[in-house]
Amino acid sequence: MRLLTHNMLSSNIKGVTNGFPLRIEVEKVVEKEVDLNMDFLRNMFAKIEWKALVEASRTMGYSELPDDAESSMLDSDEFLRKFHHALLELHLEEGALVCPETGRKFPVNKGIPNMLLHEDEV
Amino acid sequence: MKLKQLEGLLGSLQQFETPKIELEQYPTGPHIASRLLYTIPSFSIIQAENSFGDVSDKVVADFGCGCGTLGLAAGLLGAEHVIGFDIDAESIEIASLNADELELDMDFIQCDIRNLRLSDRAIDTVVMNPPFGTRKKGADMDFLSMALKVASGAVYSLHKTTTRDHIKRTALREYNASSAEVLSELRFDVPQLYKFHKKKEVDVAVDLWRFVPNNNRPKHL
């Protein structure tokens, strides 16, 4: 799972109101190189929850993103490369996503989070 | 990309070995259902890209992705990020192998679409071939309702032609779609796979729909 996916996903347990962002527990991170698409990054920047991305990438061992970012930074190639790397090249391969409100763990195996709920969570 | 090319690429993919009846999974044999499995997905994604530009450089979600065909087709046509959602672990496993086979990066989430929580409008385009609700009534409407919640650009979906009026009405009135349009009426044969199928083959007409979500609603997570 890439951090772009993580950035849009909330805990889906019934009754949880602050389910975003899911905390990440890392057992294994994989990096896969992809081509940088500048227009895509510009578009995504407006949609991304920046703080959640910064925190998630740090948990995954990548601490190059600045705490705050604004759209003027998209003119910098260096910034774009870092943003691109954090958003699209880091994969959580093994670990868990943790509901920030209840602490419930959603396991991640082979890169796939299991967000299925138990009967009493629906 | 041409229809034949895309069909050819998808034709090499693995499909269900033991389809699950309750999830309305349809498998393939060498001679059956290839229209459903390759032609219709290829046709749908090519329309989405060529007529509306809803695929390349986009974030695309495949709801009820099964073996991943629609999502992978979107990836082949240049989607920047594709996420497949399915309730069934085995399906996702096959889909993930298929992605490797095509050398595409696709994310997957195992979940029940009905209790998925994604940020509103995080997805540009949702593509889906939802269960038609023949085994579980209303399943396709649950998918559509969620798709129109999370998509900002467009939703492509296949539904039985017999439900056309109901779908249009519900999408516009209840699911906040600003438009709902049938792009094509397609036919395919569902082979006799399960014991409850009485006839050998059933001719089914499905509509390929394009819905546009109403983006003027308030944004909240």
Alpha helix segments (H runs only) across B119-163: 139-150
Q: Tokens 């890209």 correspond to what residue?
A: B49
Confidence of residue B137 (pLDDT cuts 50, 70, 90): confident
d(CA B125, CA A79): 27
Secondary structure class of B168 (helix, strand, coil):
helix
Please report, for chain A, how many H helices and E strands are present, in that order.
4, 4
pLDDT of residue B10: 87
- Among B105, B142, B146, B150, which would you mutate to test the A interface (most chain A Cβ atoms within 10 Å of its Cβ)? B105
Pick B4 or A65 by higher pLDDT: A65
Edge-to-edge strand ranges of the sheet holding A23-31 = A23-31, A90-98, A105-109, A112-113
Backbone dihedral angles phi then psi of residue B124, each to the nearest 5 degrees: -75, -50
Chain A, chain B: beta-carbon pairs less than 8 Å apart: 75
d(CA B2, CA B39): 12
Nearest CB among A40, A47, A112 relative to B80 is that of A40
d(CA A28, CA A25): 9
**How far, rounded to the nearest angstrom, does the alpha carbon of residue B34 sit from its chain's CA centroid?**
16
Per-domain boundaries in chain A: 3-114
- Among B54, B65, B80, B103, which would you mutate to test the A interface (most chain A Cβ atoms within 10 Å of its Cβ)? B80
Secondary structure class of B14 (helix, strand, coil):
coil
Q: By C-alpha distance, which of A41, A40, A5, A1 is closest to A20?
A: A5
d(CA B13, CA B99): 9
d(CA B104, CA B47): 21
Asked if A112 lies within 8 A of B123 by C-beta distance, the reply is no
Nearest CB among A1, A19, A47 relative to B107 is that of A1
Sign of the CA dihedral with A82 first, then B57, A1, and B114 last = positive
- Among A3, A6, A9, which would you mutate to test the B interface (most chain B Cβ atoms within 10 Å of its Cβ)? A9
Asked if B115 lies within 8 A of A49 by C-beta distance, the reply is no
Per-domain boundaries in chain B: 3-213
* Interchain CB contact of A107 with B (< 8 Å): no
Asked if residue B193 has pLDDT above 60, the reply is no
- Give tens-digit pLDDT for A89-113: 999 999 999 999 999 999 999 999 9
Asked if residue B117 has pLDDT above 70, the reply is yes
Asked if residue A84 has pLDDT above 90, the reply is yes
Q: What is the CATH number of domain A3-114?
A: 2.20.25.10
Give contacts of B111 with chain A, Cβ < 8 Å: 12, 114-116
Asked if residue B135 has pLDDT above 50, the reply is yes
Assigned superfamily of B3-213: Vaccinia Virus protein VP39 (3.40.50.150)
- Distance of residue B59 Cα from the nearest chain A Cα, in angstroms: 9
Give contacts of B59 with chain A, Cβ < 8 Å: 4, 44
Asked if A2 lies within 8 A of B112 by C-beta distance, the reply is no
Give contacts of A36 with chain B, Cβ < 8 Å: none
Q: By C-alpha distance, which of B97, B10, B12, B107 is closest to B60?
A: B107
Confidence of residue B183 (pLDDT cuts 50, 70, 90): very high
- Give tens-digit pLDDT for A22-58: 999 999 999 999 999 999 999 999 999 999 999 999 9
A-contacting residues of B 27-66, CB under 8 Å?
A: 57, 59
Residues 6+ positions from B52 with CB-CB distance below 8 Å: B154, B210
- Give tens-digit pLDDT for B39-95: 888 999 999 999 999 999 999 999 999 999 999 999 999 999 999 999 999 999 999
Nearest CB among B108, B115, B119 relative to A12 is that of B115
